[in-house]
Each structure stands twice: as structure tokens, then as C-alpha cells.
């Protein structure tokens, strides 16, 4: 799979996970209200379903995330950190 496609799928899974996490938290907070009690099922609550969807989405994001090789430059290499100092330590 190309890197652009993997990045796009990783982004989609991230946002699905984020939205379902907020939905699960909202349903837990609204569970004792009249509206929240109407959408909750007694044996398997809707908030749990959203939580499972968010966990699976975040795991799928980790699988689909493109692996970018770590580039070492002279600026990021700590062996050359003191090469540009204008004074002696």
C-alpha cells in the first residue's frame, strides 16, 4: 500500500476513534437523563459499543500508520551539538 493511502486510512481511523470516544463519554455522562436512558440498552450499553469501536479504530490506526524512516542530520546528531558554540566551556 502506498504511503499516501496508508496515511489517509490512519487519519480516518484516528478521527473515527476520537469521535466514538467522545460519544462514549457523552453517553456515560447523559446516562441518567431521560434522553440518555432511552438510547441505552440494559444488557450491553451503547457507550460500551462506542468504546469498543474507538479501541478498534485506534488499533487499526497504529497498524495503518506509515512507517517513516528516522532521518539523522548533523543538526539532530548530539555528537555535533557543541561544534557551533562561539566560546569555550
Residue 15 counted as domain residue: yes
Task: Judge whether 81 lies within some domain.
Answer: no
36 within a domain of the structure (yes/no)? yes
Listed residue (17, 25, 19) closest to 47, CA to CA = 25
**Per-residue pLDDT for the chain (89 aa), expressed as one digit of tens each?**
677 788 888 889 999 999 999 999 998 888 888 877 777 766 888 888 999 999 999 999 988 876 765 565 555 556 666 666 666 65
- The range of the structural domain enclosing residue 34 comes to 3-64
Q: Report yes or no: 6 and 64 within 8 Å, Cβ to Cβ.
A: yes
Cα distances from 63 to residues 9, 10, 15, 31, 67, in angstroms, run: 10, 8, 15, 33, 10
Structural domain includes residue 74: no
Residue 65 — left, alpha, or beta (φ > 0 → left; ψ -120 to 50 → alpha)?
Answer: beta
Domain count within the chain = 1
Predicted structure pTM score = 0.68
Instruction: Tell me, yes or no, whether 79 lies in a domain.
Output: no
Task: Read off the DSSP letter of residue 88.
Answer: -
Residue 80, in any domain of the structure? no
Amino acid at each position: 500500500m502506498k504511503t499516501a493511502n496508508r496515511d489517509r486510512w490512519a487519519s480516518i481511523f484516528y478521527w473515527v476513534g476520537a469521535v466514538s470516544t467522545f460519544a462514549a463519554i457523552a453517553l456515560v455522562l447523559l446516562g441518567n437523563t431521560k434522553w440518555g436512558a432511552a438510547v441505552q440498552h440494559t444488557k450491553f450499553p451503547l457507550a460500551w459499543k462506542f468504546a469498543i469501536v474507538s479501541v478498534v479504530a485506534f488499533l487499526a490506526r497504529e497498524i495503518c500508520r506509515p512507517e517513516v524512516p528516522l532521518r539523522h542530520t548533523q543538526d539532530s546528531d548530539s555528537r555535533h551539538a557543541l561544534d557551533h558554540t562561539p566560546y569555550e566551556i
